[in-house]
Structure 1
Amino acid sequence: MPSAPLDLRLLSSFLAVVEEGHFGRAAARLFLSPPAVTQHVRRLETELGTLLVDRSASPVVPTPAGVRLAGHARVLLAASNAAVDDMAEAVRLDRNAVERPLRVGIMGHGSAELTPAAINAYRRARPDVRVEIRQLDFTEHVTALTEDRVDVAFVRPSPDDARVVADVLTTEQRIVVVPARSPLADARLSGATVADIAGLPFFRVPGHTPQTFTDYLYFGEEAQRRSTDFAVTPQEVLTGVVTGRAAGSGLRSFARYYAWPGAVFVPVVDAPWESSYLAVRADEENPEVRIFRALAVALARELGPVINSEGLNGEGLNNEGLRP
């Protein structure tokens, strides 16, 4: 193992080879000579004590060790690029400006395990910047950003507003949550269809909730708002569920975070999968937002497939029998 930190130049050359599948194309992309790129990869292999790419394949492919390193390389290089951008921005900023915290909004459980992973990665990268966590309700899908209450927001689905841009972080199967005594609870293993859930008493949301969010909640069916209960947080949804007054919907990872006794999570097998997003203001100039966004997107590439399938700990969905 290396006795010194990894050289980012070596990582950059290695990652270019992995992504291009060819030493020559990687060299052209980096404006280096092919021998230089080859030397960088060899030096990295020597430092790590293992082969990182299979040179006999066409195109060149990473070895198992190379696959693992590529994920780390993306995160490190993204953080490095974001740091360079930050320093360039710092030169022009007023040195006497009052530092404000990075305000992170989270709707429900955000993007599952990726949410704390991104926040912790940012805290390690920027230990001098204070982070404030703010819980968002369903009505703040867009307004938390446009009204400047948060700087970044973990939301779902993608906001339909030109003032906001969003990156996909996870993509998951849809579920509905029903009381354990509901007839639909028997479908916890086999799953239900959109037609099966048409008669559920889904909770209501306030009228000022964005239409894109209500379409997501009700699977695009306005007629499904049958409960008299209103809810703007997952906890309110689950209270309505376990008391038999309402049903809810969400992403598959919802069950890992809200496994309440008396609530059963049923996969909706024919509903389109939906994504969770990291949203920011389209005209955002805060360099800290760019750093956080770069880290979150890089982590999503590395950890997303694991989270989407079963969570970082390999756990099933809940103790009601529903498993990935």
Structure 2
Amino acid sequence: MDLRRLTSFLAVAEEQHFGRAATRLFLSPSALTGHIQQLEREIGAALFHRAPVRLTAAGERFAQHARGLLDAVNAAMDDVAGTTGTAEDTLRIGVMAHGSAELTPAITGAFARARPHVRLVFEQLTFTEHLTALLAHRVDVAFVRPAVDDERIAVDPLTREQRIVVVPARSDYASAGELRLADVLDLPFVTVPPHTPRPFTDYLYFMEARGGEAPHRSPDHALTAHDVLTSVAAGRGAGSALSSFARYYPWPGTVCVPVVDAPWDHSVLATRAHDPNPSVRLFRALARTLAADFPEQELRSGTRPSSSSSRPGTPSPPAR
């Protein structure tokens, strides 16, 4: 049973309000509602009356068990922590997809050499988690994209890279060599969950170039780069990324094509603002130092169109 769903359930039970519980947990209302619905399906019973919000009889009984389960988990974690040292002896590192390219292992390696006594724990982040994992204290630092403007989060830009799209190898786009925004805005991009943070959806769908128009969506949903590539290889959609994506995900049936007139974007290291943890401060300092010498990343395409035309004449969208 997912402990996050238990936490969401108890927050709603205590607040008797979905909105206040979502704010308390730094979740979107839709994400919290999804946790409750998944838990109710798993248990096979309604846990709340919705108007007004209050526990059902099943919810009252389950609340007692849920509190006991979370208490037991917390006690176990405290017991183990007591044998391994303080919280500052562990640094939890969140990584979305391939993080900040070659800088991700370079920074973690430099930190490990500087602080060999600190245990490093890696957690793979989905597209929805690059803020919530930090704010919920599940990770201490996070390699994510794009940069976010949130007073609760400190951001250190690490790489600056060209934007690309990932398309099926059999589509006309794949042989174009390079594309422009006008070519790609009608692609059926993979669909991400509704509670995905707005900065990431704006980045994924090139929203700044759309003039307020909603993107076309693939029938497939994605939480990770693996999900995107599976959909693209099947000819059911397209994805977008930074140029380093092509080096890390040479996926059969897919091609990465640069979007030459799209603004370049950053991968970043995100941390909680004003985090006093000395390990976090050192990790940020090492990241900034190594990033200063990291070159800007442009996708080198082996197939380029002639100089008279930088876009395909009549591109066919990927099969849906």
TM-score normalised by length of structure 2 = 0.65
Shift of 1:256: 0.2
- Asked if residue 131 in structure 1 is aligned to residue 131 in structure 2, the reply is no
Match of 1:219 in 2: 206
Matching residue within 178, 181, 184 for 1:197? 184
Cα-Cα RMSD: 1.7
Match of 1:141 in 2: 130
Q: Is the 8 A contact 2:89 2:117 kept in 1?
A: no
Return the alpha-carbon distance in structure 2 between the equivalents of residues 143 and 292 of structure 1.
20
Return the alpha-carbon distance in structure 2 between the equivalents of residues 279 and 266 of structure 1.
28
Return the alpha-carbon distance in structure 1 between the equivalents of residues 230 and 268 of structure 2.
26
Q: Secondary structure at the match of 1:223?
A: coil
Match of 2:166 in 1: 177
- Asked if residue 167 in structure 1 is aligned to residue 156 in structure 2, the reply is yes
Residue 209 of structure 1 aligns with an amino acid whose one-letter code is T
Residues 163-215 of structure 1: per-residue CA shift (max 9 Å, x gap): 0010110000000000011111121x2x1111101221100110110111100
Return the alpha-carbon distance in structure 1 between the equivalents of residues 93 and 148 of structure 2.
16
Residues 224-276 of structure 1: per-residue CA shift (max 9 Å, x gap): 24211110100000000000111000000000000011101110011000000
Number of equivalenced pairs: 216
Match of 1:281 in 2: 272
Shift of 1:160: 2.7
C-alpha spacing 1:103/1:97, structure 2 compared with 1 (3 Å): closer
- Asked if residue 269 in structure 1 is aligned to residue 260 in structure 2, the reply is yes
Q: Is the 8 A contact 2:155 2:269 kept in 1?
A: yes
Residue 208 of structure 1 aligns with an amino acid whose one-letter code is H
Return the alpha-carbon distance in structure 2 between the equivalents of residues 279 and 230 of structure 1.
25
Match of 2:233 in 1: 242
Match of 2:92 in 1: 103
C-alpha spacing 1:283/1:321, structure 2 compared with 1 (3 Å): same
Return the alpha-carbon distance in structure 2 between the equivalents of residues 98 and 230 of structure 1.
36
Between the two proteins, what is the percent identity of the paired residues?
59
Return the alpha-carbon distance in structure 2 between the equivalents of residues 165 and 204 of structure 1.
28
Match of 1:58 in 2: none
Q: Is the 8 A contact 1:204 1:225 kept in 2?
A: no
Q: Secondary structure at the match of 1:227?
A: strand
Q: Secondary structure at the match of 1:229?
A: strand
Q: Is the 8 A contact 2:243 2:298 kept in 1?
A: no
* Greater Cα offset, 165-174 or 155-164: 155-164
Return the alpha-carbon distance in structure 2 between the equivalents of residues 205 and 101 of structure 1.
32
Residue 162 of structure 2 aligns with an amino acid whose one-letter code is Q
Which runs of 5 or more residues in structure 2 are unaligned?
A: 1-84, 305-320
- Asked if residue 113 in structure 1 is aligned to residue 71 in structure 2, the reply is no
Which runs of 5 or more residues in structure 1 are unaligned?
A: 1-95, 311-315
Return the alpha-carbon distance in structure 2 between the equivalents of residues 119 and 170 of structure 1.
15
Residue 179 of structure 2 aligns with an amino acid whose one-letter code is A
Q: Which runs of 4+ in 1 moved over 3 A?
A: 96-100
Q: Is the 8 A contact 1:104 1:153 kept in 2?
A: yes
Return the alpha-carbon distance in structure 2 between the equivalents of residues 272 and 309 of structure 1.
12
Q: Secondary structure at the match of 2:222?
A: coil
Residue 248 of structure 1 aligns with an amino acid whose one-letter code is G
Residue 183 of structure 2 aligns with an amino acid whose one-letter code is D
Return the alpha-carbon distance in structure 2 between the equivalents of residues 99 and 214 of structure 1.
34
Shift of 1:321: 5.1
